[in-house]
Chain A
Amino acid sequence: MADDLRRVTELDRLIHEPARLLIVTILASVASADFLFLQRETGLTKGNLSAHLSKLEEAGYVKIEKTFKGKLPLTVCKLTAPGKKALTQYRRQLQDFIQKTS
């Protein structure tokens, strides 16, 4: 039992941070979203969101691309395959922990 519970320490801390978990969850539900949309949905400040996105990009979980939609410049964020896999694993671990302790 103790070993099972200790597995919670193996949770991906990058995703486990609440703001990043929210960002990753939103990106998992869509094909891609731009910076403004993420800022409005998460309620984070520009600087805060930027910092979290940088961490996720460094880890290879999110891909950030500066592009244009017509004449409108956009910073578009997309969850990568490793990012999706990391989120799925995180959710499975958390679900497992909740089931064992409820």
Chain B
Amino acid sequence: MAFNILLVDDSLTVRSVIAKALRLAGVDIGQIYEACHGAEALTVLEREWIDLVFADISMPVMDGEEFVDRLAASGAIEHLPVVIVSSAGSGPRIQRLKDKGVRAYVQKPFTPEQIREVVDKVMGVTSHE
């Protein structure tokens, strides 16, 4: 099954690196969508079917924590896996985000293998085609 994936980060560099890691890791990708911050990501989610979200924490306009709060408030986070990708992943903050429904955390810098592992885990992929 091909996944539609939304990448939420204010850095084009990070969005490019995650997209490349997903491809290198052999993740079955349908479409990749991009957003520069949480508010833009919410607009994409209203418009498109998304299977999986990778989001940063520190972003302008709406940061990752507020984005997760919005998804939790609407109940969307229960059926939309959100993975936080950040270098600002202090233990207490990651726990707060997981308590709100975030499925996994990837600390930068990461490898394609780590991205693959987290996709398999949160999407319930059990075998590689």
A complexed with B: no
Chain A residues near B (Cβ < 8 Å): none
